[in-house]
Chains A and B, each alone.
Chain A
Amino acid sequence: MSLLEIQNLVVEFQTASGPFRAVDGVSLKVDEGEVLAIVGESGSGKSVSMLAAMGLLPWTAKVTADKLLFNGRDLQAMSDRDRRKIIGKEISMIFQEPVASLNPCFTVGYQIEEVLRVHTDLDRKARWDRAIELFQLVGIPNPEERLGHYPHQMSGGQCQRVMIATALACNPKLLIADEPTTALDVTIQKQILDLLMKLQAEHGMGLIMITHDMGVVAETADRVIVQYKGRKIEEADVLSLFESPKSVYTKALLSALPENAVGGRLPTITEKLTDQQIFEGAVR
C-alpha cells in the first residue's frame, strides 16, 4: 500500500474570466521511505497539487480526484476535523520562505510547542524537552537559549531548520518540502538538503520534494515527476530521467541547463515548443 496515492487530481480556481485549471489530471504515488521530486517551472501546478492533497487551499478552489488516499484512508471523505488530526501530525509540510512562514510575534520555541500541544498528550515539561531534542536533531546550537528567540533574530538557514524541526515534531510518515532551499545560499542549501536526506533515511519517511531546480532533483530524488501547466509530462526514476529523458519537454529543460553548454549559446527549445507539442510529447 502506498503512503499517499492520488489519482486524476483536478484543481480549478474561479476567476473573473471563467474557471482556471491549475492542476489537470495528475496522478502520483509515494511509498514509505521514498523520495519523490516534483519538478516544473512556475505555474506548473506543483505546489497547488500538494496543497490540494492536504486540503490547504482556500474555498475558491474546486478540488476533485478519483482517489485521494493517505495510508489507505480517504482524505476526501473525511471531515475537516478528522483531516486536521492528520495534517501536521502524520503529513507535514515545509514551505519556501522560512522567515515568512514563521509567526514573527511568537518565539520559535512557542511555535514548536504549539504543534506538540495540538497533536500530542505531552505535558508542558515533556513538550519543552521534545523541543530541545528537535533543535538538537536539526543542528541548532544552544537549543535552550535559541528556543526563546524570535524568528527575526535568526538567519534564513536557521529559520528553515526551525521549520524542519516543527514539521518533524510528531514524527510524520510523509513530509512535503515545497522549495525548501530556494531562498538560501548554496552552502546553506547543501546543509539543509543533507539534513533532510539524513532525517528521511533515519525515520524512513516518505518525502515529496517540490522544486524547480534540477540540481536539487539530482541530489535528492529516487523518482521524479515533471509537470508543465498542471499536467504530468514525464515520470521516471532519477537516473533514467537524466540519462535518457523521454519527453520533448524534459529534453528541452535539461538542455537549457548552463552546465550543459560552457561558453557559446544555450539552446532555448522550450521557446519554440507549443503547449500542444509538449503535451503530445508527454510520456506518462
Chain B
Amino acid sequence: MQVYKYQELMEKLENDELEQIGLGPEVYAQLLAIYLYQSELSKAKLLWMRMSDNLKNKEENKELTQLHLLTVALQKNDSSDFFDYIKFEWSENVKPIVEDLLAKQREELFTLMGTAYASIYEQNLLEMTQMSAEELKSACAALNWTQEQDGDQVIILPIPKETVSSVAGDDQLLKLTEFVSFLEN
C-alpha cells in the first residue's frame, strides 16, 4: 500500500486552501481524511484547529466532527475508539479514503500486536479491533497466530511479523565507491 496514493489530490486541496477563503466542508473533510491516511496527525490536528467554527458545529457537517474524533483517537493511540468511530455512514466524497485508512490501520495494529505482545486475551483484542469474533478468528488464522485456553478465557499468542526489504546491490556498490573516493581525496 502506498502512502502517496492521494498525494496529487492533497496538493490540489492544500493549494485551494491557500488561495480562497470560505471553502465548503467537503474540501476539509477530504483533506482531513487524507492526512489521517498518511499518518500526518499533527497536520490533521492543525487543519481542525484552523477550520472556522461555523463549519465545525453544524449538524450537516457531522462528518467533519467524526473525522476529528478519529484524529483524537489516533493521537491517544486508542484503537478501540478509533475502530468504533470509523463505523459511520461516510459520504461518497471521503468513502474510498476512509476505507483505505481502515485497512491500513488494521494492518498496522496487527503488526504492532505481533511485536508488542507475547500473549493477549481474546476479549481485549476484540475490543481493540472492534471486530466480530469470526472476523478476528480468520484474521489471526491468516497470520498463523495460535491460541490457548486460560480458564474460561481464550489467550492469543501473536507472532512477530518478518520484515523484508531489499536495496539493489548495484546501488549499494555505487554509493560505497562514492564514499571511498571521497575519503581518498
Chain A bound to chain B: no
